[in-house]
Structure 1
């Protein structure tokens, strides 16, 4: 059982601490415990309840009505809202709850329903990527347990690997263009890399997938063995801006005359200076357009 401050609840749910306190006093929505020194704290059940309350409140339910619901009724209303794939905020909040509960069934239900209605690519870009960005920030801030983040990341990774395996059964290359997918040293978050390697395969490009934490020197050796027409990498791990910019320059300079496609939370958050041969990828549509220019 994890323990949270009221500021933690605010960061995860998006509900202001002041509002949470009002809901506590007026509606008894949650009841914090106190340490020996009288500091309030909350547990996983409190956090899950606040997330569910947030979902309903954002979708037009009055807090006075929500307060009258028991846990079963609360969950039932949230599940009903999850079936509406137009509301990506609800989907993301529900994935957060499935992460906190470590509930694979709930995660799969939300994801499968979205894939059926939106398609695989759209689900990844409109729901999974924003969800991962959100938990990445919370994890770096120490707000969520790393084990919870690993649990949900591995579930998503499994789904992507299955999709890649299915794609490779019918893979027909359009030509001899090769794209090398890798993460720099100390980068371990492969989900974006896996997704875009799937897109490249679907577009008929040969993929050389190296995975996580590849030293730049090793990258040179790989390219000597297998000609590369482009590199693709991602930056998620927390770094100082100057360190990030230096690393991008080293990668771009290590293999001259080919484009380097980059993405990731740190690129989005820091907006660093980008070397001239690096191009930022913001969507699968963006990536497909660049592939057509290779």
Structure 2
């Protein structure tokens, strides 16, 4: 259902609230019945529906509950006290969960101002790398689930992804202008054919540049022939491929075999990271082909 003034989804099911808050629908129902923390609307068939203020209130309650407040105590507070307590928690310790909730609200409402305020608040306390690693990566993982479950639309996902991409590009440019100080290898970062999920790869490019390496960023949907071309210009190449949905689990091993046969030589190797990498079979691994199971582990390898 859409708000006629804002053209934004403003009515949510209890399953949406569960997906967005992390509180089980069963628990939400108990909290409503025992403590009257939310007052849902009802359809003619008695199905619960919630508005945006209810969602925001539940996200605030979740934060307080995560910080040790008992639900019975939270329920005794008036409506104005809960946001004040949330602000106190945020000011005392930069709350990752609050920032993620704020970014999700910005996404749901297509609210650029809230996105930028939340980002700037985080950046006043953390480096860009810390903001991205501690908050944005968990956020994107959550958004992937929210999109799959139908809680958010592709348009909302694209909206928040573009804003994050803007910040990545700005910060990458700052380190890109610095001359490389580590020259033992060159990193070539790319996504395979038909793979378009670029944010994780963009962040890795930023981190590798920050550590003084030269990178060649090829971006999305790169054919294998383009990888071969790199060998004309550089020695000691480490390719990094972020495989989120492509190649599929049925095709990934054929793809790895082709890379090994046509691209890799004594002066090159490749690191695979992303969801599809878990389907690469052991028989295809070698000192030149490495699976790295998380961004954190890949950064550690640097």
The residue number in structure 1 matching 2:230 is: 223
Q: Choose the corresponding residue for 1:260, options 270, 282, 292.
A: 270
2:156 counterpart of 1:156 = no
Distance in 1 separating the partners of 2:230 and 2:213: 16
Q: Choose the corresponding residue for 1:90, options 86, 92, 98.
A: 98
Distance in 2 separating the partners of 1:127 and 1:80: 19
Cα RMSD after superposing both structures = 2.9
What stretches of structure 2 of length at least 5 have no aligned partner?
Answer: 3-8
User: What are the residue-to-residue correspondences of 1:20-39 with 2, within 5 Å?
Assistant: 20-39=28-47
Q: Choose the corresponding residue for 1:52, options 44, 60, 63.
A: 60
Call closer, same or farther: CA 1:97–1:239 in 2, change over 3 Å.
Answer: farther
Once the two structures are superposed, what CA deviation does each residue of 1:237-265 show, in whole Å capped at 9, x if it has no partner?
38753344444444444412322122234
The Cα of 1:278 is off from its aligned counterpart by 2.3
Distance in 2 separating the partners of 1:85 and 1:271: 39
The Cα of 1:15 is off from its aligned counterpart by 0.9
Q: Choose the corresponding residue for 1:17, options 14, 25, 28.
A: 25
Call closer, same or farther: CA 1:190–1:240 in 2, change over 3 Å.
Answer: closer
Distance in 2 separating the partners of 1:101 and 1:128: 18
Deviates more, 1:239-248 or 1:73-82: 239-248
Q: Choose the corresponding residue for 1:198, options 198, 202, 206.
A: 206
Once the two structures are superposed, what CA deviation does each residue of 1:8-43 show, in whole Å capped at 9, x if it has no partner?
322221112111112222333323333444433334
* TM-score of the superposed pair, with normalisation by structure 2: 0.80
What stretches of structure 1 of length at least 5 have no aligned partner?
Answer: none
Question: What SS is found at the alignment partner of 2:206?
Answer: helix
* TM-score of the superposed pair, with normalisation by structure 1: 0.82
The residue number in structure 2 matching 1:177 is: 185
Distance in 1 separating the partners of 2:174 and 2:263: 32
User: What are the residue-to-residue correspondences of 1:102-117 with 2, within 5 Å?
Assistant: 102-117=110-125
The alignment covers a number of residue pairs equal to: 287
The residue number in structure 2 matching 1:279 is: 291
Once the two structures are superposed, what CA deviation does each residue of 1:203-242 show, in whole Å capped at 9, x if it has no partner?
222221111222334433x425533601112123387533
Q: Choose the corresponding residue for 1:208, options 210, 216, 239.
A: 216
Q: Choose the corresponding residue for 2:87, options 51, 64, 79.
A: 79
Question: What SS is found at the alignment partner of 1:231?
Answer: strand
Distance in 2 separating the partners of 1:250 and 1:236: 19
Question: What SS is found at the alignment partner of 1:208?
Answer: strand
Call closer, same or farther: CA 1:85–1:94 in 2, change over 3 Å.
Answer: farther
Once the two structures are superposed, what CA deviation does each residue of 1:178-220 show, in whole Å capped at 9, x if it has no partner?
2211112232222111111112222222221111222334433
Q: Choose the corresponding residue for 2:175, options 147, 150, 167.
A: 167
The Cα of 1:124 is off from its aligned counterpart by 1.7
Call closer, same or farther: CA 1:86–1:247 in 2, change over 3 Å.
Answer: farther
Distance in 2 separating the partners of 1:35 and 1:174: 63
Distance in 1 separating the partners of 2:14 and 2:191: 36
Call closer, same or farther: CA 1:82–1:234 in 2, change over 3 Å.
Answer: farther
